[in-house]
Amino acid sequence: MKTARSIMLLALVLVLASFAGSNKYFVITAEDVAFKVPDGFPKPVYDFSSNHPSPEVFILGRKLFYDPILSRDSTISCASCHQRLFAFGHIDHALSHGINGLIGTRNVPPLQNLAWNPAFMWDGGVNHIEMQPLSPLTNPLEMGETLSHILLKLRQNEHYRKDFQAAWHDTVINTERMLKALAQFTGLMISCNSRYDKYIRGADTFSAIEKNGLAFFRQKCATCHTEPLFTNNAYRNNGIRPDTALNDSGRGRITGTMSDNYMFKVPGLRNVERTYPYMHDGRIRNLRSVLDHYADPNQFDTRASPEMRRIGVLSKDQKDALYAFLLTLTDKEFIYDKRFIDPFIDTVK
Ligand code: HEC
Ligand code: HEC
């Protein structure tokens, strides 16, 4: 019995070791991809038991995420728009840029804690993480591809044939598997180790101004930006006026209900220091200016949601405190997490 068990253990170690050798970028173990609900987080919306994380599927998802082969002219990958060092947002322009330099209609949101999202996009137009990539893949302003052509390219590619085989132990390459692999990769992008999280867990301290900022935040902002995900997952109008050129009516476009017009998904604010510019159309370039917007109720659009009334006029000291608090949401462990590094170009330090 005992020898049988140690032979099995040895075999397992050998399998793992051979796998590690084949991935020269970074060894991903089963432990690395185990899904754990962070302390204090609610129950996730996405059920990983239907897409059980494994190192091979995660690595395939990572490769797909970083590979421009998924776009029509092989120039744009998911990561062209969702850049790791900015919490998978995009900082250098307000609206997204796709194939042939085409400009999209919305600001690229960061990707984090997606497993807790009941809906995706600024208007909640997609309600399942596995379906989410269909939109950028086929959007003519983004990756402009067709699913059948993507599958053809993957099937013709010897490396992908090996990767799919390693992930599912047979030769089938289909849309469902591609989407499940992407969902494993993006679903495991979890930010839960900012200074704020450590403070809440009693593992770090806040300065006086950060403590004040948290107190103001809870009083004025948290009805919409609710802890610990910093969103109540609702659609609201935060008082910015519609951009007449884009004329984006937000949630109303999805539901067709007048009262949902100009409502947008309340964004989670984790890593907000790095995810500039801000708002669905990237109109506000920096965090101080976001606070200037919230500080001046006279400037709010008449459609501003009722919770906006709680804020009132913010003094300079209150804005400074809120600013100091918002910076505590930066999660360097997430941003520099080696599991998410680009397997094509980044080198592991
Ligand atoms: C051309 C830029 C671009 C590319 C390429 C792109 N995205 Fe996005 N992504 C966006 C924009 C813009 C949005 C917000 C769209 C909206 O609200 O209508 C978004 C939204 C998302 C969201 C929803 C986030 C949330 O919190 O609601 C996810 C998830 C996502 N993208 C994943 C991907 C994946 C996976 C790929 C590759 C298959 C990809 N994206 C390719 C620009 C891009
Ligand atoms: C009525 C609900 C509501 C309240 C209250 C609220 N917000 Fe917002 N917040 C939103 C919505 C909705 C957006 C996105 C708006 C858009 O893009 O059109 C947003 C966007 C933001 C953004 C930009 C995030 C990004 O990724 O683009 C920041 C930063 C922010 N809010 C901070 C705050 C702060 C600080 C307070 C308190 C002073 C606050 N919010 C109060 C609903 C609210």
- Counting atoms of ligand 2 from 1, which one is nearest the CA of 220? 37
Whether residue 229 is predicted with pLDDT greater than 80 in this model: the reply is yes
305 close to ligand 2 (CB < 6 Angstrom): yes
b (16+ CB within 10 A) / e for 166-197: bbbeeeebeeebbbbbbbbbbbbbbbbbbbbb
Query: Contact 225/269 with Cβ under 8 angstroms?
Result: yes
- Separation of alpha carbons 167 and 175, rounded Å: 14
What is the Å distance from ligand 2's center to 77 Cα? 28
Whether residue 9 is predicted with pLDDT greater than 70 in this model: the reply is no
Q: How sure is the predictor about 8, in pLDDT bands with cuts at 50, 70 and 90?
A: low
Q: What is the pLDDT of residue 325?
A: 98
- For ligand 2, atom 40, the nearest C-alpha belongs to 221
- Separation of alpha carbons 273 and 27, rounded Å: 30
Average pLDDT, the chain: 92
What is the Å distance from ligand 2's center to 297 Cα? 13
Percent pLDDT > 90 in the chain is 84
- Counting atoms of ligand 1 from 1, which one is nearest the CA of 98? 1
Q: How sure is the predictor about 100, in pLDDT bands with cuts at 50, 70 and 90?
A: confident
CA nearest to 335, candidates 320, 321, 346, 344 = 346
Between 19-28, 241-250, 270-279, 289-298, the lowest mean confidence (pLDDT) is in: 19-28
Return the C-alpha torsion angle 173, 176, 177, 180, nearest 10.
160
Q: Identify the sign of the CA torsion 45, 51, 52, 53.
A: negative
- Counting atoms of ligand 2 from 1, which one is nearest the CA of 240? 18
Residue to mutate (ligand 2; options 86, 93, 214, 224; most atoms within 8 A of CB):
224
Average pLDDT estimate for 333-347: 88
The ligand minimizing its distance to the Cα of 111 is: 1
263 close to ligand 2 (CB < 6 Angstrom): no
Write down the residue that tokens 């469902």 correspond to. 176
Between 93-97, 148-152, 211-215, 334-338, the lowest mean confidence (pLDDT) is in: 93-97
What is the Å distance from ligand 1's center to 204 Cα? 33
Write down the residue that tokens 């991809």 correspond to. 33
**How many other CB atoms sit within 10 Å of the CB of residue 140?**
12
5 against 17, higher pLDDT: 5
What is the Å distance from ligand 1's center to 141 Cα? 12
Phi, psi of 173 (to 5 degrees): -120, 110
89 close to ligand 1 (CB < 6 Angstrom): no
